[in-house]
């Protein structure tokens, strides 16, 4: 085979390979939405995180704005300290409400941020004061049964 034809094929092969890698990172991995190099970290204390896991998404109005980077148990307050890394393009007011929500009926858990009305914005290392724990099915059923029993008594 001619040298030049071989060079052409190898060049095509390498270009196809690089294009495949680009498609993987841009189209499949959606690299441009969340760039961890420009981000800031905030923490929040939750009474119960349910099934929240590290790398779970942090969403504002349903849009992914960051990810959970670390979950620790605090022996001082006896609750869970969740670290979230947010994209620095998205800033939230200081009185933002963070709650652990579930996507769908059986879906994964994520943190939903609901913006407050404060003029001061959250900075790197800040703490979200208002948090809402995950819904735990047993607690929910327990509360329902308790309510029902109280109603039955009053009749």
Residues in the site for other proteins, rule: CB under 8 A?
1, 3, 6-7, 9-10, 12-14, 16-18, 20-21, 23-25, 27-31, 33, 36, 55, 57, 64, 104, 106
Close Cβ partners of 68 (under 8 Å, ≥ 6 residues apart)? 52, 53, 54, 55, 56, 57, 58, 82, 83, 84, 85, 111
Residues 27-35: contacts with CB under 8 Å, at least 24 apart: 33/64, 34/64, 34/66, 34/67, 34/87, 35/87
Look at strands 39-46 and 80-87 and give their pairing. antiparallel
State whether residue 119 is helix, strand or coil.
coil
> Minimum distance from CB of 66 to other proteins (Å)?
12
Closer residue to other proteins, CB minimum distance, 56 or 100: 56
Q: Which is nearer to other proteins, 14 or 141 (CB)?
A: 14
Q: What is the smallest separation between the CB atom of 93 and other proteins, expressed in angstroms?
A: 25
Q: Smallest gap, in angstroms, from Cβ of residue 69 to other proteins?
A: 12
* C-beta separation of 79 from 47 below 8 A: yes
Return the number of the residue (66 or 122) whose C-beta is nearest other proteins. Answer: 66
Residues shown for the chain? 155
Q: Tell me the closest approach of the beta carbon of residue 80 to other proteins, in angstroms.
A: 18
Q: Which is nearer to other proteins, 16 or 121 (CB)?
A: 16
At residue 40, the 3 state secondary structure works out as strand
Which of residues 62 and 117 has its CB atom nearest to other proteins in the complex? 62
| Rounded least distance, CB 105 to other proteins, Å | 9
């Amino acid at each position: 085979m001619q040298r030049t034809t071989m060079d052409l094929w190898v060049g095509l092969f390498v270009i196809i390979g690089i294009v495949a890698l680009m498609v993987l990172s841009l189209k499949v991995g959606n690299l441009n939405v969340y760039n961890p190099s420009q981000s800031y970290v905030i923490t929040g204390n939750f009474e119960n995180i349910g099934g929240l896991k590290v790398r779970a998404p942090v969403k504002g109005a349903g849009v992914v704005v960051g990810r959970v980077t670390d979950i620790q148990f605090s022996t001082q307050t006896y609750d869970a300290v969740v670290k979230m890394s947010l994209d620095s393009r998205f800033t939230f007011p200081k009185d933002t409400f963070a709650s652990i929500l579930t996507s769908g009926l059986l879906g994964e858990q994520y943190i939903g941020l609901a913006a407050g009305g404060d003029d001061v914005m959250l900075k790197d290392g800040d703490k979200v004061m208002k948090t809402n724990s995950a819904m735990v099915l047993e607690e929910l059923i327990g509360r329902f049964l308790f309510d029902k029993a109280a109603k039955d008594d009053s009749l």
